[in-house]
Amino acid sequence: MRKMVSTKRAPSAIGPYSQAVRAGQFIFVSGQIPLDPTTQQIIGGDVRQQTDRVLKNIAGILESAGSSMDKVVRCGVFLKNLSDFEAMNDVNGKISGPHPWRERRSRWCVCARMAWWRSIRLPWNRAGQASRV
């Protein structure tokens, strides 16, 4: 059984998806950016502050679904600049102090240049989904 997860502790989903989906004992959280849940605006500041906001958003979603950051198994990160890796990693590693899950979870990180993403044009069908190119 699937159940959509929604909370005011994280930004509203922007588009045709939910903040998370609970499927049995698993919770799949949608990607997050540093949006303030109250203003729905991207926060200012450096990568440390933005990483902290993203993690708070994810924690809010997980807690509203009856889980917590302690139970995270896998995490993926997209960075605009690889030079932000150390700062992001520092904040990510200090979530609410040391937890046993830090040693056991899986994580990947990709440097994604925004100019590349903006240059792609996908043909959209009437359902709002990308068509095959």
Q: What is the pLDDT of residues 19-78, one digit of tens each?
A: 999 999 999 999 999 999 999 999 999 999 999 999 999 999 999 999 998 888 888 999
Full residue range of the structural domain in which residue 35 is found:
2-114
- CATH, residue 30: 3.30.1330.40
The reply to whether 124 falls in a domain is no
The reply to whether 133 falls in a domain is no
How far is Cα 122 from Cα 133, in angstroms, rounded to an integer? 7
Helix/strand/coil (H, E, C) string of the chain?
CEEEECCCCCCCCCCCCCCEEEECCEEEECCCCCECCCCCCECCCCHHHHHHHHHHHHHHHHHHCCCCHHHCCEEEEEECCHHHHHHHHHHHHCCCCCCCHHHHCEEEEEECCHHHHHHCCCCECCCCCECCC
The reply to whether 89 falls in a domain is yes
The reply to whether 125 falls in a domain is no
Q: What is the pLDDT of residue 66?
A: 95
How far is Cα 18 from Cα 13, in angstroms, rounded to an integer? 6
pLDDT band, very low/low/confident/very high, at 93 (cuts 50, 70, 90): confident
| Predicted structure pTM score | 0.78
